Amino acid sequence: MAAPMANERKLFDANLGDILQDVKRVDAFLDVIFEFLYRRTDFYRIMEHENDVMGLPPGVARKLVMQAYMKYDSVANGPPKIPIDSNDVEANQGQTPDVGKVVEVTTELEESKEEGNLKHSHKVALQEEQKQEESVEDGNKSTIETATDQKTRVLTAADTYNGAERKDYCWAQTLTDVDLKVFVPSNLKKGKDLDVVIKNKSIKVSSKQGDNTVLLDGPLVHDVHSEECMWSLHPGLYVQLTLEKKVQTWWKSVFDGEEEIDQKGIDTTVNIHEMDADSQADYSRVMFDMEQKRQGKPTSKEMETHNMLKQAWNAEGSPFAGSEFDPSIVNVST
C-alpha cells in the first residue's frame, strides 16, 4: 500500500517544484507553506474547550510538524547513531543550539592560493553561489558583500502581503501586526553586530560593524506597542521585526513620508486568529451550528434548551418530577 501513496504524492511535485523554483530558498519555501496554513486553515488556532469545532489541542500542531520532519529524517539518514566513545559524548555536551536562534548550515572548503585564501560556502539544499561585486578605490581591491542587491534578493508573496517592497526593506501586515524585514549586508551574521531600537513611534536599525551604518531609521506612521515587539536576525539576509499595532487599522505605509500603498488592493479578510475573544466565540458557534445542521444534529441553541429542560424536569414543583426525562413531550419553539 506504500507504493500507491508515494505515487500519489508525486502528483504534487510539479506544483511544489514551481513554488521552490520561484522562492529559490528552502526557508522561504517553508514560509510559504506555513503562511498558507495560517491564512487558510485553523492549524494555528488552539482549542480552549473540548467542544470547540475548530483548531487543535495545545502542542499538537508543533508535534505534527516534528513528526513529519522526523519521519523523513529517518528515511534520509537512517536511525540515530549512538556514539561509542564516551569522551566524544562529553565533548559534545552543551553544544546544542539554543531554541529560537537561527542556525545556518554551511560547509566551507578552503584552498591556499599564492595571494590568499578563497572561501566557497555551499548552502545545504540551495546550492547557489552568492555573487560578489568588486570595486576599485585608490588602486586597492575590496570585496563588497551585500544582501541588498536586488538581483540576488528573493522575496515571496508573504513578504509583501498587504504591504510592499522598498529600497531597504519590505513589509507585510495583518489587522493587528506589521512584519518588517530590513535588509542587512551579507557579512552580517550575528545579532550582537546589530543595534535595534523599537519605540512606540519610531524604529532605528544600525550595524555595529565598521562605521556603525544606519540601515533603517524613521518615525512610524502609526504607534505600536514597543514592549510587545520583537526582532530576529536571519544571517546575511535581513533582520525581521514583528510590530504589534496599538490601534487595529490598515497601514498605508510604515514610515511618515514614505510612498503609500493602494488600500484598494489590501486583503481585508480578517483571519479568525485576529478577532477578539467574543468574535471568535461567535464565529465558532456559527460554524458549529452549520455542521450540526448538516449532520441532522441539534444546534448549540437547541442543546442549551435541552439542558435547561433537563434541569427543570426534576425541579421542585415540576409535574414530571421523579419520571424519566423525555423531551419529546415538551413543545419548545427555538
pLDDT of residue 83: 47
Q: What is the pLDDT of residue 11?
A: 76
State the average pLDDT for the chain: 75
In a domain, 112, yes or no: no
Classify residue 109: in a domain, yes or no: no
199 alpha-carbon distance from chain centroid: 23
Place of cell 424536569: 313
For residues 307 and 207, state if they share a domain: no
The answer to whether 194 touches 205, Cβ cutoff 8 Å, is: yes
What mean pLDDT is predicted for residues 17-34? 88
Whether residue 209 contacts residue 188, with contact meaning beta carbons closer than 8 Å, is answered with yes
How confident is the model at residue 185, as a pLDDT?
Answer: 92
In a domain, 74, yes or no: yes
* Banded model confidence at residue 331, pLDDT cuts 50, 70, 90: low
Q: What is the CATH number of the domain that holds 214?
A: 2.60.40.790
For residue 230, give its domain range. 157-265
Length of the chain: 334
pLDDT band of residue 294 (cuts 50, 70, 90) is: confident
For the CA atoms of 282, 285, 286, 292, the dihedral, rounded to the nearest 10 degrees, stands at 180
User: Please, which pLDDT band fits residue 156 given cuts at 50, 70 and 90?
Assistant: confident
253 and 186 in a single domain? The answer is: yes
Question: Do 207 and 228 sit in the same domain of this protein?
Answer: yes
Confidence band (pLDDT; 50, 70, 90) for 303? confident
Q: Are 203 and 220 in contact (CB under 8 A)?
A: yes
Q: Last residue of some domain: 237, 265, 293?
A: 265
Q: Judge if 184 and 221 occupy the same domain.
A: yes
Q: What is the C-alpha radius of gyration for the chain, rounded to an integer number of angstroms? A: 28
Q: Is 197 contained in some domain?
A: yes
| Contact (CB, 8 A) for 177 and 245 | yes
111-146 pLDDT per residue, tens = 333 344 433 333 433 444 444 444 334 333 333 344
Are 259 and 195 within one domain?
A: yes
Assess whether 244 and 315 both reside in one domain: no
Q: Residues 65-79: what's their mean pLDDT?
A: 76
3-state DSSP assignment of residue 46? strand
Measured distance CA(111)–CA(106) in Å, rounded: 16
Say which residue, 93 or 223, is predicted with more confidence: 223
The amino acid at residue 86 is S
Whether 260 and 161 share a structural domain: yes
8-state DSSP, 59 = T
Q: What is the pLDDT of residue 333?
A: 54
Instruction: Give yes or no: residues 161 and 257 share one domain.
Output: yes
Of 207-211, 216-220, 271-275, the poorest mean pLDDT is in: 271-275
Structurally, how many domains does the chain consist of?
3
Poorest-confidence range of 48-57, 95-104, 300-309?
A: 95-104
